[in-house]
Structure 1
Amino acid sequence: MVLSADHYTSAERFETEKRRVFQRVPLVLAASCELPGPGAYKTVAVAGIPVLLVRDRQGKAHALLNACTHRGAAVATGCGSAVRFTCPYHGWTFGQDGTLLGVASAADFGTVDKAMLAMKRFPVTERAGLIWAILDPASTQNPADMLGGIDDLIAGFNLADWTMIENRTLPGPNWKLAFDAHLEFYHVPVLHRDTFGPERSNRAFYFAQGPHQRVIAPQGRPGALVPDDLYALGRLPTSGEPLAPLLMGEWILFPGTSINTFYTGGIRCVLVSIVAPGAEVATSTTTQTFLAETQPDEESRAAMSRMCAFLAHVVGDEDLPTSAFQQQVMATGMLGEVRFGRNEGGLQHFHGWLDRVIAADTSELPSLLAAPCPQ
């Protein structure tokens, strides 16, 4: 597959991706356990859009535009817990669901319709231990109806009950260059020869479900108790069949999230990596959230911290600098095009689906994304 290099550098293409992908399809914004109780909140940014995630008193997650409806100042930063949010500019106060509760010096300001001045709300759903949202407050779509069953397939992780160990955000180049490294293992024994080792296989199996996929290194034959087709997508284990084979490998949730399984300190863990575009074509962030299936003891937590540091090094010091140089070269206009080989099927699938989503009419998106399309 040949791809024009300007897919990674064109400001016009980037604006199209922001409008027709990142403001129309459900995005994973956080793991559910990052908002562990009422009042817990986290701020994120996607393609220049500031988002406030918060869990209300009833336990429902909300995704709000992190902007006061008076004059646009941020009402929250970082993460924490809050009963309400007060704008640091003029003191307007909002509830956990974005409702405007109070206007500072209201008698001096004048009469306002509080109901009309609630914070902008994004359609949101909480499925499979992840919080998904469509970053268009005018969207009438329910994100849950557009997941195509991928949420059912990853539900076996039970991520909602897991424990967050660490979270970090790494700066990067164009979001697709940052995400491409998650979609093939061809580079692993070369770029990561000093971390994963040169003997690591550079091959992968690719299984697709609509725009989503799972990338998994070749495994030994699973044996009599594990049917071969359990390694593919398209069905869930039946009674008596093990779930573990379905949860291994790197799960790719379109457009920019990966879930990678590790065993650390004797406990199953996952690294949830969310690659999001920045405000400009040549910028992105990769947010790494490391979760543990059970609460670790002191020794296991220390091992997990070492694993987190290792994974931050692999991505932050090996993958992303390589991608940044690619960005620099492509921006010269001299390379012209890039190509993906037969062993880079994940890249071909991803970029093909990206174009399909961009080309689709908004009315077509629910049926397009919801169709399982196992391959």
Structure 2
Amino acid sequence: MTLDARQYTCPDRFAQEKQRIFQRLPLVLAASCQLPRPGDFSTLEVAGIPVLLVRDKAGAVHALLNSCTHRSAAVASGCGSTARFTCPYHGWTFAQDGALLGVASSADFGAVDRAALAMKRFPVAERAGLIWAILDPDSPHDPGAMLGGIDTLIAGFGLTHWTMIERRVLHGPNWKLAFDAHLEFYHVPVLHRETFGPERSNRAFYFTHGPHQRVIAPQGRPGDVVPDDLYTLGRLPTSGEPIDPLLMGEWILFPGTSINTFYIGGIRCVLLSIVVPGAEVGTSTTTQTFLAETVPDDAASAAMRETSAFLAHVVGDEDLPTSAFQQKVIGTGLVGEVRFGRNEGGLQHFHRWLGRALDSDNAALPALLAAPCPQ
């Protein structure tokens, strides 16, 4: 398969992706366990859009535009816990669901319609222990209804009540170049020969479910007897069959999320990687969140942090610099196309679906995402 190389560098193409992919499709923004208690909040930015995630006192999650409705200052930064948000510029206050609570020196400011000046709310859903949102406050769609059943397939992780070990943000080039490395193992024994070893296989099995997929070298818990068909996405395990084989490998949640499974000290762990565009065509962020199924003891926690740092090195010091150089060369205009081989099936599937989503009108998106298309 060949791809016009300008798809990685063209500002017009990037503008389309920001509007037609990252403001119309449900995006994974965080794991539910990152906001375990009422009042917990976290901030992030997606394609230049500042987002505030917060769990209210009733336990519901809200995704808000992180902007005061007075003069657009950010009402929160970083992460933490709070009963309300106070704008640091003029002191307007907002509830956990974004409602405008108070206008500073209101007698001096004048009358306002508080209902009309609530923070902008994005459609949001919690499914399978992940927080999904559509970053268009006027979207008519429910993000939970657009997942096409992928939430059911990954529900076996049980991520809702996991423990966050570490979170870090890595900066990289165009979001597709940053994400491409998640979609094939062809490069592993070459680019990562010093970290994973040159003996690692460069092949993978690819199983697809609509735009989503799983990239895997089959494995399970030591000693498990694994029915062969559990390595596919064709069915869920029945009573008495292990769930682990379905959860192993790297799950790719379209358009830019990866879930990678590990066992450390007998505890199942995942690295949740969320790749999103920056504000410009040549920028992106990869947010790595390392989660553990149960609270680890000190020794296991230290081992998990070591693994987390190792994976940050693999991506931050090997994958992303390589991708940045690719973008530099493509940006010269001297490269007409890039190509994907038969053992890079994940890339082919991803880029075909990217084209489908870009070409689909807004009303057709839910049906497109719910009905798997042919290869």
Task: Give the TM-score taking structure 1 as reference length.
Answer: 0.98
Residue 240 (structure 2) pairs with residue 245 (structure 1)? no
Deviations 1:170-219 (A, max 9, x none): 00000000000000000000000000000011000000000000000255
Which aligned pairs between 1:1-375 and structure 2 lie closer than 5 A? 1-217=1-217, 225-372=225-372
- 2:14, 2:281 within 8 Å by CA — same for their partners in 1? yes
Q: Distance in 2 between matches of 1:298 and 1:287?
A: 25
- 1:259, 1:271 within 8 Å by CA — same for their partners in 2? yes
RMSD: 1.4
Q: Distance in 1 between matches of 2:23 and 2:327?
A: 24
- 1:234, 1:374 within 8 Å by CA — same for their partners in 2? no
1:242 Cα deviation after fit: 1.1
1:266 Cα deviation after fit: 2.2
Q: Distance in 2 between matches of 1:372 and 1:35?
A: 32
- Classify the secondary structure of the residue corresponding to 2:115: helix
Q: Distance in 2 between matches of 1:217 and 1:180?
A: 18
- Classify the secondary structure of the residue corresponding to 1:263: strand
| Percent pairwise identity | 78
One-letter amino acid of the counterpart of residue 134, structure 2: I
Deviations 1:156-181 (A, max 9, x none): 00000110000000000000000000
Q: Distance in 2 between matches of 1:199 and 1:291?
A: 28
One-letter amino acid of the counterpart of residue 241, structure 1: E
- 1:208, 1:374 within 8 Å by CA — same for their partners in 2? no
1:224 Cα deviation after fit: 10
Q: Distance in 2 between matches of 1:250 and 1:130?
A: 16
Residues 263-272 or 196-205, more deviating = 263-272
Structure 1 runs of 4+ with >6 Å offset: none
- Classify the secondary structure of the residue corresponding to 2:323: helix
1:48 Cα deviation after fit: 0.2
One-letter amino acid of the counterpart of residue 40, structure 2: A
- 1:265, 1:301 within 8 Å by CA — same for their partners in 2? no
Stretches of structure 2 lacking an aligned partner (at least 5 in a row): none
- 1:209, 1:234 within 8 Å by CA — same for their partners in 2? no
Q: Distance in 2 between matches of 1:278 and 1:43?
A: 15
- 1:209, 1:374 within 8 Å by CA — same for their partners in 2? no
1:227 Cα deviation after fit: 2.2
Q: Distance in 2 between matches of 1:329 and 1:4?
A: 14
One-letter amino acid of the counterpart of residue 262, structure 2: F
1:14 Cα deviation after fit: 0.2
1:228 Cα deviation after fit: 1.5
One-letter amino acid of the counterpart of residue 135, structure 2: L
Q: Distance in 2 between matches of 1:249 and 1:267?
A: 16
- Classify the secondary structure of the residue corresponding to 1:117: coil
Q: Closer, same or farther in 2 for the Cα pair 1:227/1:115, shift >3 Å?
A: same
Task: Give the TM-score taking structure 2 as reference length.
Answer: 0.98
